[in-house]
Chains A and B, each alone.
Chain A
Amino acid sequence: MQQTEQPQHNADALLDRWHELASESLKAWTAEAEGVGKYVAERLVATQDETLKFLKLSMNAWSAIAPNAGADGQEHFGTQMEMLRQQFLQLPVTMDKVTKDLGELWRLYLVETQKIQQPWAESFRQAPWHFGETASGPGTALVQMGNLYWDAYERTFGRLLESPSLGHTRELHEDLLKGFDAWLEYRRASFEYQVEVAEISTRAFEQFMRTLVARAERGEPVQGVRQLMFVWIEVVDDVFAEAFRSEKYIRIQGRLVNSATAYRVRERELADAFLKTTHIASRSELDEAYRNIYTLRKEVKELKKMIQGAKAHAPAAAVSKSPEATA
């Protein structure tokens, strides 16, 4: 592609400005819609939004690759994909930062408790290597690094939290801790899931770029914005579909769903415990009531059927005893 830096810059600025204007005006229009219409209108705005963002991403990626598409094109392609990978991984990294901050608080606390400081020191000792790998390698390094912190937490503060509680709030305290554990597990699973999706996204984008090149070689360049999006959608859904079938992905997704539901169960236990101190019926109490109603309803239905059956037989029996019937 014979694109210079200046036109690329202009295209970027144009897309940014266009994006801004389109989003504002379309959002204002959707305010009038309602129900399904509103939902669809919002999806249209979001689609427009995604199209423009994606267009920018694609053009930037290609403009970086294209000038070097000669002998060392593969290397530039790899470099560009690596940059994209880092972009896709931004979300989990940001998310992980929250976790690290929490870890940092615990670390400070643990400085005061020399006895259990050692595992944290160990994790920090190992961290630089993982940081290095994360910066240049696949997302698994990010997960490994995250795991270091989680393991350290479990061996220190987590273990401390697990020690038996005392006093009249013992049970509630126990529930709180279990809830916290469930929440941590959900965070970990969520982090791992985000990293996995970022990895799949990177692969999808790689495949997308290869598809574009293949099209160009066949003399079928992409000539419009929407055409570009359709090519992207076709490629990316295939890559995702393949990844979604892998045992690795299913395990990660399973962990996410299972930890989310486990946390929700703990959350409800806590809510129940708090509601117990008020005059408000808890979810569990309502469920119990519903179960009783369900059982009673079923019994009533069975009894009704029995009565109907008995009634149906009764006239027949009466008729059979009547002189006319026997005659």
Chain B
Amino acid sequence: MQSPLEMHPEDMVHELVELNRKVAKGIENLSHIRNEDIRVGFSPKEEVYREDNIALYRYTPVVEKPFHVPLVIVYALVNRPYMVDLQENRSMVRNLLNLGIDVYLIDWGYPSRGDRWLTMDDYINGYINNCVDTVRQRHGVEKVNILGICQGGTFSLCYTTLHPDKVKNLVTMVTPVDFHVREGLPNLWAGCELGPQGMDVDSLVDAFGNIPGEFMNLGFLMLKPFQLGLGKYLEMIDILDDEQKLESFLRMEKWIFDSPDQAGETYRQFMKDFYQENKLIKGEVKIGSETVDLRKLRVPVLNVYAEQDHLVPPESSIALKHYIGSTDYTLKSFPVGHIGMYVSSKVQRDLPPTLSQWLTARGS
């Protein structure tokens, strides 16, 4: 049998010298980059509404006559929403604007200790509803279109079910619906099978108040510890002397580790009711005084998922079809992972037109 390691000391030295040279050069480049140099969020926008720590932004339209019905993006509470407008050539927002869509974005901000008691009711019937009302008033329309992303998609499902009179069309993207799908490691770790033995959510919230962003991050990194903790940086060595690629890498890195804390009570309900007890598809989730019965969701729905998503497994998103009352339901997928939905060039090229055409066909 041939030796599995065909590495001779002199070749190793050569490779290591080369490796070290690249790393040294890269670190030299890195040392010149200040935090403020890593710019994120490219498209011009203005703040049109603010309440507590949250803000509603309107992106400046780039066409003369944007769509009549504006689109409100509801992002997840985890990580920052500038991912949808990360950089000029990787901006879902920019691509939507180019197609004539009038885009609004809810920025959840960074919950402080004072936000520890915020509930899902506050987020959904409070913040989202107030933002939607603001957009409706500004445009003189009865209904808006909503694009809910990841956890924001789950929130949007609840919101649309509870406020059908305010939503014309709903787009959900990489949205978890069935939280007991085994393929999702986050589902298992959150206690979808073992309940509090897998994770005692009450104890966690009681201990921390707000759940630290670092804790959330650690959980995500642990899903692929070697690739995300080692492999990624090994791959990075090849782009260290390419300033543009290095900047893109740093932007992504900034986004990954820019993790807001999670409001304690909202985290408690989301983890227990959704992950552990799967109440959304059972029609048992209570937001404020009302129960979310997805069968009452009858607006047109476009459900977009990532085929290689390791955070929200495809089955979890696809399940939506079985639980909503909408007869106008469209399913679309892309051959990428969770993050690829924001940054992949194929998705950047194909998703915005898909979304635009779908909305246009439904009177937007």
Contacts and interface: CB of A to CB of B under 8 A. Distances in A.
Interface of A: 1-3, 7, 10-11, 14-15, 18, 22, 25-26, 29-30, 32-41, 43-48, 50-52, 55, 58-59, 62, 66, 69, 212-213, 215-217, 219, 221-226, 228-230, 232-233, 236-237, 240-241, 244-245, 247, 250-251, 253-255, 257-258, 261-262, 264-265, 268, 283, 286-287, 290-291, 293-295, 297-298, 301
Contacts of A10: 9
B209 interface: yes
Contact of B185 (A3, A25, A244, A268): A244
B89 interface: no
Contacts of A217: 1-2
A36 B15 contact: no
Interface string B234-258: 1011000000000001100110010
A286 B117 contact: no
A301 B254 CA distance: 35
B226 A240 contact: yes
Q: Main SS of the interface on chain B?
A: helix
Contacts of B224: 237, 241
A41 B30 contact: yes
A262 B31 contact: no
Contacts of A291: 116-117
Contacts of A48: 19-20, 23
B194 interface: yes
A7 B12 CA distance: 13
B27 A30 contact: yes
B208 interface: yes
Contacts of B82: none
A230 B230 CA distance: 9
B230 A216 contact: no
Given A33-B27, A44-B26, A261-B203, A224 B185 contact: no
Nearest to A217: B1
Given A48-B20, A261-B204, A43 B188 contact: no
A237 B9 contact: no
Contact of B5 (A47, A228, A241): A228
B207 interface: yes
Interface string B76-116: 00000000000000000000000000000000000001111
Q: Which one of B3, B20, B33, B38 has the highest number of Cβ atoms from chain A below 10 Å of its Cβ?
A: B3
A213 B116 CA distance: 54
A236 B227 CA distance: 9
B16 interface: yes
Given A212-B4, A236-B226, A44 B12 contact: no
B200 interface: yes
Contacts of A1: 3-5
A2 B3 contact: yes
B322 interface: no
A250 B113 contact: no
Contact of A287 (B12, B30, B209): B209
Interface string B20-39: 10011011101101110010
B142 interface: no
Given A40-B30, A237-B227, A250-B189, A222 B4 contact: yes
A295 B194 CA distance: 34
A229 B188 contact: no
16 contacts: A14-B9, A34-B35, A39-B257, A44-B26, A44-B236, A50-B230, A51-B19, A222-B7, A223-B7, A247-B194, A254-B194, A261-B206, A283-B209, A294-B115, A294-B116, A295-B117
B2 A221 contact: yes
A183 to B, nearest CB: 14
A258 B203 contact: yes
B289 interface: no
A139 B7 CA distance: 33
A221 B196 contact: no
Contacts of B250: 36-37, 40
A290 B12 contact: no
B89 to A, nearest CB: 20
B31 A41 contact: yes
Contact of A251 (B116, B198, B227): B198
B1 A69 contact: yes
Given A261-B207, A265-B207, A254 B9 contact: no
A251 B209 contact: no
Contacts of B229: 43
The 4 tightest CB contacts between A and B, nearest first, are A35-B35, A1-B3, A32-B31, A212-B4
Nearest to A43: B233
A281 to B, nearest CB: 12
B98 to A, nearest CB: 29
B64 interface: no
B193 interface: yes
Contacts of B27: 26, 29-30, 33, 41, 44-45
B290 interface: no
Contacts of A32: 31
Contacts of B122: 298
A10 B20 CA distance: 20
Q: Which one of B31, B34, B115 has the highest number of Cβ atoms from chain A below 10 Å of its Cβ?
A: B31
